[in-house]
Each structure stands twice: as structure tokens, then as C-alpha cells.
Amino acid sequence: MDSLSTPEVSSVLARIYREADSTDPAVFDHIIAEIERTGGPKSAQYWAKELDKAYMPVAPEVGRLLYILTRTRRPRLVVEFGTSFGISAIHLASALRDNGAGRLIATELNPIKAARARENLRSTGLADRVDLREGDALQTLTQGFEGGIDMVLLDGWKEIYLSVLQLLEPHLNPGALVIADDTTVYPESVTPYLEYVRKEGNGYLSVAVPLDDGLELSFCTSARRVQ
């Protein structure tokens, strides 16, 4: 049996998805109404206070893809930018446990969300696989990458996807996978990131994956890690 199917993990995932279904629609309805009232779209950071109330979980099919990629790649170290309430971290950590090795460094800016994510990880019995760092990712993701990074999930503020990737690049092992979520939600915010990973010569082979709100899956083709 895979860890996602165990009662302790599946019950926690089901609960978080139920909570998200009851909370997020009202948050996003309010944001859409304000955009229509004020006459134009605004960045995700403009809505930071409102979005702090939202779960914004990865869709179940995206979570399964993360699990499958982690089982297949068998990473020693995964880094996640934007943990929220911990659904993606649970999928990643479940795969690491089933692989029998590997750890996850996760980061979350919002202290309330970080506390809830820690609670959810403890409830699933996966907390020992996760180093959850609270604060600005550009400050929390600067160390602790001994042996290099094999897999990255970008799921925080879209405007700094490229900055986070470039911060982590010196630690990426050849063959590292980089997954960027929500690439179709704020296309203007992720354009610099997408242009970078798709540009020939930047060291990535990249493809759009049409799941939920869009993913970009990139394969690191060149040696980047500082020895």
C-alpha cells in the first residue's frame, strides 16, 4: 500500500480538501467582485491579506503527479516554495517515506499557515521527513542543501518564481526536476519565469502540463551545483 492510501494520510487530505472547498470559493468570489468593481486585474501580492485566508491546495490530480514524480525521481532532497496548509508537502513527504529515503525542505511565509501545516504533517506521521521553514523564502532558502537539490516545487508568490529558482540554481543537481504550479492563473506574473526555463541555453528542457491551473515541468540538463 502507498502512504497516500493509508488511513492517517488519506483522512487528513480529505479533511483539508473539505475545509478548502468550504473556505476558498468565498475568498475568490470577493476578489473577483473587487476586480470587476475597480476595473482591472491586480497581482496576487495585492490580495495578500485576503489570500492568507485561502487554502489554495494543489488539486488532487496534481498531488498524485507530485507523488509519482517523487517516487520515480527518488530525490534525496526536495525543496518546496509555498507550503500553505501542507497538502503538497503531504504528497511529497508520502513519496519520500515510500522511497525509504529523502527529505523535504518546505517554506511558508504566513505563520498561521505554517503552524497548521506542521499540525497536518504531525497528524499524518510525516513530520520527520519535513524541515518546514517559516518566513520569506528568499531568506529561508539559503542553506542546508548539502548533497544538492534533486527536485523543486514552486507554489508561492508567482512574481518571485524566477528569483527563487535562481537562488536555488547553484544547488541543483544535474537531472533535477522543477515544477511550477498555477502558471495559467496569473500569466503576466509567471511570464519571466516561463521565458527563462524555456529559453535555449539556460540549461532546462521544459514543457507545459495542462493539469488544473497549469504546471510547468522543467528538467535541469546541465551541471549547476557548486561543488
pLDDT of residue 194: 98
The segments of the chain whose pLDDT lies below 50 read 227
What is the C-alpha separation between 3 and 75, in angstroms, rounded?
A: 17
pLDDT of residue 20: 76
Encode pLDDT of 28-38 as tens digits: 555 555 665 66
- Of 191, 189, 204, 210, which is closest to residue 44 (Cα–Cα)? 189
Encode pLDDT of 74-124 as tens digits: 999 999 999 998 999 999 999 999 999 999 999 999 898 899 999 999 999
What is the C-alpha separation between 3 and 25, in angstroms, rounded?
A: 29
What is the C-alpha separation between 174 and 66, in angstroms, rounded?
A: 19
pLDDT of residue 186: 77
What is the C-alpha separation between 212 and 207, in angstroms, rounded?
A: 15
What is the C-alpha separation between 87 and 109, in angstroms, rounded?
A: 16
